[in-house]
Structure 1
Amino acid sequence: ITKHLEPLAITSNIFQAPMCRLDHVLLTLGSIFSFFQNLPDEPGNEVVKDAMENSIECRWGKTHQELFILATFFNPYICSRFFNADYLSLMVLFHIVKRAVRKLTGQSPANEPAFFVAFRDYYNSTGMFSPASMWLTGFQNMFSQPDQETNTVNILQVWETFRSQNPGRGHGAFIALAIRLHSMVPNSASTESLFSMFGTTHTKHRNRLSPQKVHNSSVVWLDSNRIFRGDKTRRKECMFDAQEGVGGSNQQGGVPR
């Protein structure tokens, strides 16, 4: 039972994290699908394998798949290397990008030559989107410092360093799409925390605050908790054994008690 439930618990932690991104969802679903697909043929495993594979395929079929695919594609540490070129070639991905731009902005800058050049350079990791130009190794080293809140590179911050003054045209529109996709949070963890803070701020003994003051106080409170998170006493955690291929990394995950 532990062998089957442990990867599900790790997946739940990833999906419920306040900093979860769209590419985290796709990578984790792929990892957990591979995990159950490769379970040894032992008594009881066949039923679990079939149930999990059907469940993941059903859930994936109900999502807006192209946005998750693009979010993974716009992770510069992955880019197109994650995908099978027989199904998601350069031109197939370009058409997906065109549809996403049209759907999210209502415009069609993808018809401009500069937009296609930016897409092609990023797909091939050349030009302004080469690893050296994007300073990928530098970001890895910077976020691996012990004074950082997390040792995971902030992909949104990487793309914001390329933000253009004209986000509606050419390569600026391409970069704006990447920023928009990595700004999306596929869960309601942050929103739920904010509403919980509203209840803490606006109580029956302190009920004369205006809605705007309640909102501002709660936002400041949440931001302070985030900034000074490292100064607080860490809660004990149940640590899972490291499992390669589950959750997209070999690191251990924890569930607060």
Structure 2
Amino acid sequence: MTRLLYREDAYLRDADARVIAHTPEGGIVLDATVFYPTCGGQPGDSGTLEWDGLRMPIATTLRSHDNQIALVPAEPQPLPSVGTYVVQSLDWDRRHRHMRVHTALHLLSAVVPFDVSGMSISATHGRLDFAMPDSPEDRAEIEATLNAYVMEDAQVSDIWMSAEELGDIHGLIKSLTVKPLRGAGPVRLVRIGDAAAPIDLQPCEGTHVARTGEIGQLRLGKIEKKGRMSRRIHIHLDN
């Protein structure tokens, strides 16, 4: 199993590792990785691998068919052999922007109190699809509340509980499409704000900033009708 360094420290940019496998599609599996794989609307990380004076650009990171984390080379070239020690380095600016947008979407889900049916993250903006019949009329208020939470510079932290415990807490699971599996081990929850009265608390495997102040100024984008009971709300980083 690959050690998930990105889960232990989302700010870790570089790390030594050893190649433990190749996927049939040409991906590289490491024994420990700072690269986050595409999941839950967050894109897979890009960056580089270096070994023995060689350098390989990594275009993205995916989960393979057998649930391994595979680094995907940006162009065809010989892969480092199994057993090779490498240095992995993230495209940090891109990853940090994903972290900022992802945490901002958690704030959006707290401001708009409806179940979430989809999400997408990029380095400049993100969106959530809400199970709601009508578009919100208070655009200015939503944007102002989001930026108030940013200015609050609230702490973002992790807590863990079993899927059984999680299922007993009404309203904690906001996603209509992704549900934690019972019996699959502890579930990671991302908490924004104080434990006694959090701004947001929900299961999430993605990477996040440590404090909401890191997100920076947010701008509310388009609000689109995506079906009879679905509205898509976009938010943008201002820089």
Alignment TM-score, normalising by the size of structure 2: 0.28
Alignment TM-score, normalising by the size of structure 1: 0.27
- Greater helix proportion: 1
- Greater strand proportion: 2
Name which structure has the greater RCO, CA cutoff 8 Å, separation 6+. Answer: 1
The structure with the largest alpha-carbon Rg is 1
